[in-house]
Amino acid sequence: MTDADDFELYRDDWGIPHLRAPDPLRLAYAQGRATALDRAWQLEVERHRSQGSSAAFLGPESVAWDRFARQSRLDDTARRCHEALDPQTAAWVGAYVDGVNDGLAAGAARDERFARTGHTPAPWEPWVPLGIWIATHVLFAGFATKLWRERVVSALGPEAATLFATDGPGTAGSNGWLVPGDRTATGAAIIAGDPHRFIEDPGVYQQIRLACPEYDVLGLAVPGIPGLAHFGHTGAAAWAITNAMADYQDLYVERLRTAADGVSVEALGPDGAWEPVHRHTETIAVAGSEPVEVEVLETARGPVVIREEAADRTLSLRYPPRVRRDLGFAVLPALLRARTVADIDRALDGWAEPVNVVHAADTEGGLLHRVAGAVPVRDPANRLRPVPAWDARYAWQGWAETPAEPVQGFAVMANARGIASPLGVEFAPPHRADRIRALLSGSSDWSPKAMADVHRDTYLGSAGPLLALLPALEGLSPAAEALRTRLLAWDRHMEAESTDATVFSALRTATVRRFAADPALAALAGAPTGPEVFHPWLYLVPRVGYALEGLLATELLPDLDRVAHVRAALEETAAAGAPDVPWAQVHRLVPWSALPDPDAEWPGLGGDHDCVNATSSVPGFTDLSARASAARYVWDLGRREDSLWTVPLGADGVAGTAHHRDQLALWARCELVPVVTDWARLTKESV
């Protein structure tokens, strides 16, 4: 539809692409083409993951995901959502895909991973961006937690369903805060924060600027997706999101039988009648191994994602994009055109997935704090556990209204209970949100640069309940007594250079492991069963690690001798010799990569799971950090050029290039780089 002469590509000193085109369609093309040049490998990995075909060049380790992608019908759902797009949005997405297709060959030629795997990019279909979006977010809301709760209820009884409730394994969170103009140095609002995701190489967010005569917007894009869905600044208005922690996907227990023809499959429906089940078989190609056949079943509720015939267990997944045939993609071009908070608010009325809490502000003083997304109305039990498909009580009954509230003082969003409480079950502990509020309350003249102090804060509020048990412990050995004294004097900051933070983590690890080994939890200690893709939600030790604060106080486990376990953990840690090394020496970044580099060196980090600087380890399992800030941003509504941002690695997805990891050291220290808006300060690149 266009060619390289129809747009201009500039880069700043960090290699961040700034794109300029004559109109929105040619700009969408430019975004797709520039992304393919910088991120061809990443785009191809994500495309094939959405289609369930990544094992064809990544090998057997990708089969588990490919099986899930096919059984949950991600690609088919993307096609259906694409077919339902309005013509204007479809043309805009199509322009982006055209750009990707025109840039893939050149992008692949830059990256040796294509030659190493023998993978050759094929042209994208128009719905691929929608498929990537679904694949990125299908596990985002953590419906697999319902499988864990099912195990808990079976082992400990219904009253224990939410015993381990917390922002735990596999959950994506974020921080965000909005400071109105009456609390800033310039009199204009500031929006800041950071999305917490599993850190990937290349990074999951792409710094980019998109300019045409109709708009000039900068922000954080998801590679493979046109526009700026989550974080953007149009000059006149800006927005940012966090995970609302809403529950909007359901698992249904299905009763299946073979139909009278001996071939077809039927499911028992909510009206007592047997209903036809869609059934077909697909084949997953596997590099270096035999192909794998996958049976795909879909009931009237949704695709079957678990079928264990030996255990007589069949579960289907009902998720909004498949039900509604809508991802909310029409919102994306509308956000780029936004000039006011009202424009953003109106656009987000059409948002679907994932369900987010939104902050927005504009240069006219407008402020917004709301939830956006599609949440079904149904029985409260649906949110807790798999429910019977044959009972009409558990059917969806329409869509919930998404709440909003006025901004008073300042607004904070950190996945804790608050504005989105009516829509969810499990939320993050309040520590991050409370700490951000406390820090913001310390000044009334905030500037963009000062926001880095909030980003880097390492106070660990969740350390309190464990430390509170130490003073009452009696009969300690001299070494344990000394360790207790040391920990009680600690300032509770998980600073990179802190040796006390390392010692606390060692005590926490010992405590978690002793809790997990207690006979009261023995029924939960077995290895996970069922599809491998759900296993991260089903291991006991991580569950105990993330829920330790609640387990220290719960009355639901009367036989769990908390004091004895903490005392033994303290003695164990002391006897082992306090690990007197800086926290960053053991708390190191370990990103996910489709083709890991065994020789890569990654930095040590400050922070921890419940710190504002949320560099998540898995307490009781590892001090390494795989989840952290996937980007940091500060949007200044007074002067956009005073805004700041950073990503964990860099702008270029090709290893060894100048801008592949040039932001990594800054990111590890929670420093941000300036946003550049002056075209004269950019370098034009031939395209």
Q: Which of 169-173, 191-195, 364-368, 647-651 has the weakest average pLDDT?
A: 169-173
Contact predicate 597/584, CB 8 Å: no
Round to whole Å and give the CA distance between 41 and 33: 13
DSSP-derived 3-state class of residue 536: helix
The continuous run of DSSP H or E covering 440 comes out as: helix 431-440
DSSP-derived 3-state class of residue 637: coil
Q: Which tens digit of pLDDT belongs to each residue from 23-82?
A: 999 999 999 999 999 999 999 999 999 999 999 999 999 999 999 999 999 999 999 999
Q: Which tens digit of pLDDT belongs to each residue from 190-199?
A: 999 999 999 9
Round to whole Å and give the CA distance between 646 and 665: 11
What DSSP assignment string belongs to 96-133?
HHHHHHHHHHHHHHT-HHHHHHT----PPPTTHHHHHH
What is each CA distance from 562 to 3, 163, 604, in whole angstroms? 67, 15, 32
115 exposure class (CB count in 10 Å sphere: 0-12, 13-18, 19+): exposed
pLDDT at 577: 86
Query: What average pLDDT does the chain have?
Result: 96
Q: Percent of the chain at pLDDT above 70?
A: 98
Averaged over 356-382, what is the pLDDT? 97
Contact predicate 476/567, CB 8 Å: yes
Averaged over 596-603, what is the pLDDT? 90
Report domain extents, the chain. 9-138+172-248+324-438+629-685, 250-323, 454-628
- Let me know if domain 250-323 sits in CATH 3.40.50.1980: no
Q: How sure is the predictor about 171, in pLDDT bands with cuts at 50, 70 and 90?
A: low
Nearest to 196 by CA among 133, 241, 239, 142: 241
Residue that wins the pLDDT comparison between 409 and 189: 189
Q: Is a pLDDT exceeding 90 seen at residue 215? A: yes
Nearest to 352 by CA among 317, 416, 402, 299: 402
Q: How sure is the predictor about 165, in pLDDT bands with cuts at 50, 70 and 90?
A: confident
DSSP state of 142: -
Instruction: Find the largest Cα–Cα distance for the chain.
Output: 79
Q: Is a pLDDT exceeding 80 seen at residue 4? A: no
Round to whole Å and give the CA distance between 33 and 99: 4
Round to whole Å and give the CA distance between 225 and 241: 17
Tell me the whole-structure pTM to 2 decimals: 0.96
What DSSP assignment string belongs to 44-101?
HHHHHHHHT-THHHH-GGGHHHHHHHHHTTHHHHHHHHHHTS-HHHHHHHHHHHHHHH
Dihedral sign of CA atoms 413, 419, 420, 425 in order? positive
And the tokens for 641? 């050029």
pLDDT at 141: 86
The number of residues in the chain equals: 687
480 exposure class (CB count in 10 Å sphere: 0-12, 13-18, 19+): buried
pLDDT at 182: 94
Q: Is a pLDDT exceeding 70 seen at residue 224? A: yes
The continuous run of DSSP H or E covering 24 comes out as: helix 24-51
What DSSP assignment string belongs to 318-381?
E-HHHHHS---TTHHHHHHT--SHHHHHHHHTT--SS-EEEEEEETTS-EEEEEES--B---GG
Nearest to 252 by CA among 416, 145, 355, 394: 394
Q: How sure is the predictor about 597, in pLDDT bands with cuts at 50, 70 and 90?
A: confident
pLDDT at 173: 78
pLDDT at 497: 98
- Give the CA count within 13 Å in the CB-facing half-sphere of 253: 14
Averaged over 254-262, what is the pLDDT? 94
For the domain made up of 454-628, give the CATH fold.
Answer: 1.10.1400
Contact predicate 544/551, CB 8 Å: yes
Averaged over 597-622, what is the pLDDT? 94
Q: Is a pLDDT exceeding 90 seen at residue 172? A: no
Q: Residues 83-91: contacts with CB within 8 Å, 24+ apart? A: 83/325, 84/325, 84/326, 85/329, 85/330, 86/330, 88/330, 88/333, 89/329, 89/330, 89/332, 89/333, 90/126, 91/25
DSSP state of 263: S
- Give the CA count within 13 Å in the CB-facing half-sphere of 607: 31
Tell me how far the alpha carbon of residue 475 is from its chain's centroid.
Answer: 45
pLDDT at 579: 82
Architecture field, domain 9-138+172-248+324-438+629-685: 4-Layer Sandwich (3.60)
Q: Percent of the chain at pLDDT above 90?
A: 94
Q: Which of 7-16, 84-93, 578-587 has the weakest average pLDDT?
A: 578-587
Q: Is a pLDDT exceeding 80 seen at residue 260? A: yes
Averaged over 620-645, what is the pLDDT? 97
Q: Is a pLDDT exceeding 80 seen at residue 252? A: yes
pLDDT at 599: 85
Contact predicate 585/495, CB 8 Å: no
Sheet containing strand 387-388, strands side by side:
304-308, 313-318, 250-253, 387-388
DSSP helix, strand, coil percent of the chain (3-state; round to 5) = 35, 20, 40
Q: Which tens digit of pLDDT belongs to each residue from 373-394?
A: 999 999 999 999 999 999 999 9
Averaged over 253-266, what is the pLDDT? 94
What is each CA distance from 467 to 374, 458, 511, 546, in whole angstroms? 41, 17, 11, 16
